[in-house]
Amino acid sequence: MEINSALIQQNIAKAKTGDQVAFTFLLDFFWNEVYGFMLKRTQNETDTEDIVIETFSKAFDRISTYNPEYAFNTWLIAIAKNVHIDMLRKKRFSLFVDISEDDDRRAYNIADESASAEDELIQEQNLSRLLECIKKLKPQYQEVIQLRYFQEQSYQEIANQLNEPLNNIKVKLLRAKKLLADIIKNKGNC
């Protein structure tokens, strides 16, 4: 079934207003194209999936900057290429992190890893602050964070429970984590 460009542009316009149905349409429509393009470049399904998830997350966060004079898929591919380059840079940098002999010795000399009463109190206070930050997210993002990190459900289990496509859940969770990180960074103690 061929979808005309007017329908795509309508959904882009709706997505710019925050319409989740439009986001889902665009995600479903363009996922395979972006995934196939990146898989040829990376030759690695796991990396490709991570890149495509981050691509759609960035695209949806910045959809207001999309210029309709260009094809939407071209814009998505450009974002995917940049995400891939960033990933390669991070991997290259992480390969060259040196561990000194002192660091190595200290790592082996850790006597007791169990939490003290003070550590447990700090962890409880941090969890309480984190829950306050999570409450500032939209309900749809609170729900996926709750299911993934507190109920420890897999992406597929969350998709089944919420009756949403797996890729939508991955993108929604990535966006939720980014929004939560922004809240924590900007608010400090929430």
pLDDT tens readout for residues 53-67 = 889 988 988 999 999
Q: What is the pLDDT of residue 186?
A: 81
**Average pLDDT rounded to a whole number, residues 152-174:** 88
**Quick check: 44 pLDDT over 80?**
yes
**Average pLDDT rounded to a whole number, residues 100-117:** 56
Angle subtended at Cα 174 by Cα 172 and Cα 175, rounded to the nearest 5 degrees: 65
Q: How far apart are CA 56 and CA 77, in angstroms?
A: 10
pLDDT in tens, 80-100: 999 999 988 887 776 655 555
pLDDT in tens, 2-43: 567 889 999 999 999 988 889 889 998 999 999 999 999 999
The helix-helix angle for 72-95 and 20-42 (nearest 10°) equals 50
**Quick check: 104 pLDDT over 80?**
no
CATH topology of domain 5-95: Rna Polymerase Sigma Factor; Chain: A (1.10.1740)
Q: What is the pLDDT of residue 10?
A: 94
Both structure tokens of 177: 């984590």
CATH code matching the domain that covers 117-187, chosen among 1.10.10.10, 1.10.287.3510, 3.90.76.10, 2.120.10.30 = 1.10.10.10
Both structure tokens of 38: 């990146």
**Quick check: 172 pLDDT over 90?**
no
Q: What is the pLDDT of residue 1?
A: 42
Residue with tokens 């809240």: 183
On average, the pLDDT of the chain sits at 83
Q: Which one is predicted more confidently, 117 or 182?
A: 182
Q: What is the pLDDT of residue 142?
A: 92
- pLDDT tier at 73, thresholds 50, 70, 90: very high
Q: What is the pLDDT of residue 79?
A: 95
The percentage of residues in the chain with a pLDDT greater than 90, rounded to a whole number, is 35
Q: How far apart are CA 83 and CA 42, in angstroms?
A: 12
So where are the chain's domains? Answer: 5-95, 117-187
Q: Which one is predicted more confidently, 116 or 151?
A: 151
Same fold, 5-95 and 117-187: no
